[in-house]
C-alpha cells in the first residue's frame, strides 16, 4: 500500500520515514500537489484531518498528515495550534524569541508537545495522538531537530530535543508516540 505524506516539512518527513521505514511512502511532489494544504481550524486534530482529507478528496491518494503544537501551561496552552507561525511568520527563531519573551514573567515553565496523525485509507479516517511533557528552558541548546526543540527538555531528561540524535528523539517524542499507535493499528489491520 502506498501512502502520501501530506507535509512539505523535511524534518517531519525524516522522522516519520525513519520510524516507519517499511511503508511505501510517496510525496506531495510525486502526486503533483502544488497546493498549500489548508489549516483553518482551531484545534490540532481538526487541522490534521483537514490536510489528510484535502489530499484524499483532491488526489484520491491514501495519506498521512501530521499537525503538531507546543502547549505551554503558563500561557494557557499557547502557542498550541498556532505553533508554526506564533510570531506571525513561519520562522522558528522568531517563534522561539516570542515564546521566551512571553514566558519570561512566569515561574511555571511546564509544557507539552502534542501531535495528531491522521491516516486516510480508502476515504476512512483514523487518528493517533501522541504527547510528551517537559519544560521550557531560557536559552537555546543544541543544533539538531527543528521548531521549538532547542528550548524543550522532556520530563526525566537533562537535554533538549535539539541536543539529541534523531534516534534518541524518536524513542520518546510526541510524534514517535503517535507513530507507535499508528504502527500498532497497521499491524492489526494488514
State the pLDDT at residue 22: 86
How far is it, in rounded angstroms, from Cα 115 to Cα 98?
22
pTM of the complete model: 0.93
pLDDT tens by residue, 5-44: 999 988 889 889 988 988 999 999 999 999 999 999 999 9
The ranges assigned to domains in the chain are: 2-188
Structure-block grid coordinates of residue 171: 524513542
Q: What is the mean pLDDT of the chain?
A: 95
Element (H, E) at 110: strand 110-121
The CATH classification of domain 2-188, taken from the options 3.90.950.10, 1.10.10.10, 1.10.1660.10, 3.50.50.60: 3.90.950.10
> In this structure, how many other beta carbons lie within 10 angstroms of the beta carbon of residue 162?
20
From residue 113, how far is each of 26, 59, 172 by CA, in Å? 26, 30, 11
From residue 105, how far is each of 74, 75, 113, 173 by CA, in Å? 10, 11, 21, 27
pLDDT tens by residue, 133-181: 999 999 999 999 899 999 999 999 999 999 999 899 989 999 999 999 9
How far is it, in rounded angstroms, from Cα 4 to Cα 21?
13
pLDDT tens by residue, 93-132: 999 999 999 999 999 999 999 999 999 999 999 999 999 9
- Residue 190 pLDDT greater than 80, yes or no: no
Q: Is 67 a catalytic residue?
A: yes
Whether the CB-CB separation of 102 and 108 falls below 8 Å is answered with no
- In the set 29, 66, 67, 187, the catalytic residue is 67
State the pLDDT at residue 82: 96
Per this entry, what is the length of the chain?
190
Amino acid at each position: 500500500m502506498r501512502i502520501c505524506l501530506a507535509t512539505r516539512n523535511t524534518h517531519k518527513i525524516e522522522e516519520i520515514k525513519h520510524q516507519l521505514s517499511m511503508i511505501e511512502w510517496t510525496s506531495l511532489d510525486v502526486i503533483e500537489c502544488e497546493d498549500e494544504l489548508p489549516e483553518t481550524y482551531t484545534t490540532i486534530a481538526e487541522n490534521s484531518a483537514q490536510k489528510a482529507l484535502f489530499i484524499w478528496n483532491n488526489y484520491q491518494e491514501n495519506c498521512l498528515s501530521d499537525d503538531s503544537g507546543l502547549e505551554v501551561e503558563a500561557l494557557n496552552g499557547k502557542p498550541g495550534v498556532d505553533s508554526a507561525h506564533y510570531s506571525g511568520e513561519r520562522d522558528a527563531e522568531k517563534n522561539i524569541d516570542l515564546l521566551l519573551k512571553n514566558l519570561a514573567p512566569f515561574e511555571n515553565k511546564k509544557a507539552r508537545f502534542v501531535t495528531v496523525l491522521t491516516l486516510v485509507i480508502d476515504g476512512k479516517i483514523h487518528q493517533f495522538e501522541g504527547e510528551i511533557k517537559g519544560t521550557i528552558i531560557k536559552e537555546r541548546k543544541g543544533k539538531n531537530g527543528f521548531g521549538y526543540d532547542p528550548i524543550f527538555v522532556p520530563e526525566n531528561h537533562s537535554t533538549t530535543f535539539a541536543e539529541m540524535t534523531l534516534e534518541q528523539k524518536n524513542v520518546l517524542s510526541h510524534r514517535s508516540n503517535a507513530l507507535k499507535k499508528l504502527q500498532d493499528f497497521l499491524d492489526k489491520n494488514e
